[in-house]
Amino acid sequence: MFVLGLTGSIGMGKSTTAQLFAELGVPVYDADATVHRLYESEAVAAIEQAFPGTAGAKGVDREKLSGHVVGNAEAMKRLEAIVHPMLRAHEKEFLAHAEQAGAPVAVLDIPLLFETGGENRVDAVLVVSAPEEVQRQRILSRPTMTEAKLEMILARQMRDSDKRARADFVVDTSNGLDSAREQIRHVLAKVATMPRRRS
């Protein structure tokens, strides 16, 4: 089975691209959705212990947790040490299921793929991209987004140009769904003939 890493900066259309893969029958692992589930289940006790007052009856309060870790590298490291091993276990389970089901390709949708060394766990990397003005317009139209918040998020992410330079494939989402779909079909045709390179 070929494992394709899917990544891209905020506002580039990564979630939509992941959906398009799923529509074509490709199994997609969503790292963000898995984090949400962990914050409601197995990660709650460990996070509450590390950051007292951040968890309640419904699990981890993301706003309260943000107050502890945003802008604090040491706290962020502590959080990642709790969450990353759990994420990895879920990812492995997902890949095992996809392989058992006979999927020729599986997609790992991981926002911080390059930032966390995730490119070593995949056979190729697809970066979702769009022009900067399109990206900013998309993000700033979100209800709770501010310029300051956006700058903070972008500071944690590798620059789009650097991601594109390291990618095997780039899907440009600025020309609508049909264009993105066509690009994805092209990627799937290409990976069918590519060698595996996971380490």
Any binding-site annotation on 15?
A: yes
Quote the domain boundaries for residue 109. Answer: 1-27+105-198
Given a contact cutoff of 8 angstroms between Cβ atoms, the answer to whether 192 and 104 are in contact is yes
Q: What's the predicted TM-score (pTM) here?
A: 0.89
**Do 79 and 141 belong to one domain?**
no
What percent of the chain stands above pLDDT 90?
79
**Do 94 and 49 belong to one domain?**
yes
Chain segment 139-180, per-residue pLDDT in tens: 999 988 888 888 888 887 889 999 999 999 999 999 999 999
In the sheet that holds 2-7, the strands lie side by side as 28-30, 105-109, 2-7, 124-129, 169-172
State the pLDDT at residue 29: 97
**Do 138 and 62 belong to one domain?**
no
**Do 12 and 74 belong to one domain?**
no
**Do 188 and 94 belong to one domain?**
no
**Do 182 and 86 belong to one domain?**
no
Any binding-site annotation on 14?
A: yes
Any binding-site annotation on 129?
A: no
Chain segment 44-63, per-residue pLDDT in tens: 999 999 999 999 888 999 98
**Do 122 and 180 belong to one domain?**
yes
165: phi then psi, degrees, rounded to nearest 5: -65, -30
Q: How many domains does the chain have?
A: 2
**Do 21 and 68 belong to one domain?**
no
Select from 102, 136, 164 the last residue of a domain. 102
pLDDT(84) > 80: yes
**Do 42 and 71 belong to one domain?**
yes
3: phi then psi, degrees, rounded to nearest 5: -105, 120
**Do 53 and 74 belong to one domain?**
yes
**Do 2 and 45 belong to one domain?**
no
Any binding-site annotation on 116?
A: no
**Do 56 and 110 belong to one domain?**
no
State the pLDDT at residue 116: 86
Any binding-site annotation on 25?
A: no
Any binding-site annotation on 67?
A: no
Select from 102, 124, 148 the last residue of a domain. 102
Select from 81, 102, 123 the last residue of a domain. 102
